[in-house]
Amino acid sequence: MSSRVPLPGFALSLGYTLTFMSLIVFLPLAAIAWKSADLSWEQFVQTVSHPRALAAMRLTFSTALIAAAINIVLGLIVAWVLVRYEFPFKRWVDALIDLPFALPTAVAGLVYASLYMKDGWIGRFIVPMGIEIAYTPAAIVMVLVFTGFPFVVRAVQPVLEEIDTDLEEASAILGATRWQTFWMVLWPNLRPAVVTGFALALARGLGEYGSVIFVSSNLPGKTEVAPTLIVARIEENKFAEATALALVLLLSSFALLGLINVWEKWSRRHEA
């Protein structure tokens, strides 16, 4: 419809937008494609299946998965409480949810590194109990839970607000327990939002670097994540190897986002 409207500036905005995106985004990505073209298949496989690379990939995927799974549970509880209950300072709590998006990852890393140390605010209570988090993979999970926390909450909140409580009332009147109502009435409605939030948190966790280098001991093969290994390879001027690892990261996060898109379309069609 709008295309028939004689608004000015189409050519100018098209030209500027494409030029800008080419210079800022496409050209650098083309450099990665160019470097990967240099890479033979054997070289790629060799780099990616190197024990250190495998260990880094495994750690990256497992910590990001665990953190995103934890965020489903935390996100559902927090979204539920924010939508359904009233309590003092609710607006402030709601505003704080977005902090992990706004807070620089370096600050998150710095604080999380010192909170869980032996004499840290939380560490002084849990270290005597035998729970050592600082510099372990558990610390990576903790900081990834922080950076990905808003995704599930913010995905679930609007859906929960729109769900008609009539459904729950009907279910209760028909004799369902609260728990049955949740699983059989609410959960099917919430599931697409939860999956979206989970995938976004996961994609974010896969690429997270800034906060992780603070809280992890970054030992090759043990507590080194894939982005850390990429930086190490860049610093050694081993650009081909860095590019191979970057490709794996890039393709997995693209695949994830592609999957969400397909999933969203699929669930929307099944709703209708």
> Which residue in the set 87, 129, 130, 162 belongs to the binding site for other proteins (CB under 8 A)?
87
Does residue number 84 form part of the binding site for other proteins (CB under 8 A)? yes
Helix axes 51-84, 41-48, angle to 10 degrees: 70
Does residue number 168 form part of the binding site for other proteins (CB under 8 A)? yes
Does residue number 206 form part of the binding site for other proteins (CB under 8 A)? yes
Q: For residue 43, give both structure tokens.
A: 């070289």
Q: Which of these segments, 42-50, 131-139, 236-244, 264-272, binds other proteins (CB under 8 A)? A: 236-244
User: How many whole angstroms separate alpha carbon 137 and alpha carbon 168?
Assistant: 41
Shortest distance (Å) from residue 192 CB to other proteins: 19
Q: Which of these segments, 47-55, 79-87, 132-140, 264-272, binds other proteins (CB under 8 A)? A: 79-87
Does residue number 184 form part of the binding site for other proteins (CB under 8 A)? no
Distance of CA 55 to the CA centre of its chain: 20
Coil, helix or strand for 71? helix
Coil, helix or strand for 254? helix
Shortest distance (Å) from residue 183 CB to other proteins: 15
Does residue number 253 form part of the binding site for other proteins (CB under 8 A)? yes
| Residues in region 9-68 near other proteins by CB under 8 A | 9-10, 12-14, 16-17, 20-21, 24-25, 27-32, 34-35
Q: Which of these segments, 47-55, 130-138, 187-195, 205-213, binds other proteins (CB under 8 A)? A: 205-213
Shortest distance (Å) from residue 145 CB to other proteins: 7
Shortest distance (Å) from residue 262 CB to other proteins: 13
User: How many whole angstroms separate alpha carbon 54 and alpha carbon 78?
Assistant: 35
Type of residue numbered 187: W
C-alpha angle 109/114/117, rounded to 5°? 125
Shortest distance (Å) from residue 184 CB to other proteins: 14
Coil, helix or strand for 216? strand
Does residue number 91 form part of the binding site for other proteins (CB under 8 A)? yes
Shortest distance (Å) from residue 7 CB to other proteins: 5
| Residues in region 95-154 near other proteins by CB under 8 A | 95-100, 102-115, 121-122, 145-146, 149
Coil, helix or strand for 185? helix
Shortest distance (Å) from residue 25 CB to other proteins: 6
Does residue number 217 form part of the binding site for other proteins (CB under 8 A)? no
State which residue, 254 or 266, has the beta carbon closest to other proteins. 254
Distance of CA 50 to the CA centre of its chain: 26
Which residues have a Cβ under 8 Å from the Cβ of 243 and sit 6 or more positions away?
A: 32, 35, 36, 39
Which phi and psi (to 5°) does residue 88 adopt?
-60, 145
State which residue, 96 or 219, has the beta carbon closest to other proteins. 96
SS3 content of the chain, % helix, strand, coil (to 5): 80, 0, 20
User: How many whole angstroms separate alpha carbon 150 and alpha carbon 97?
Assistant: 6
135: closest CA among 191, 80, 212? 212
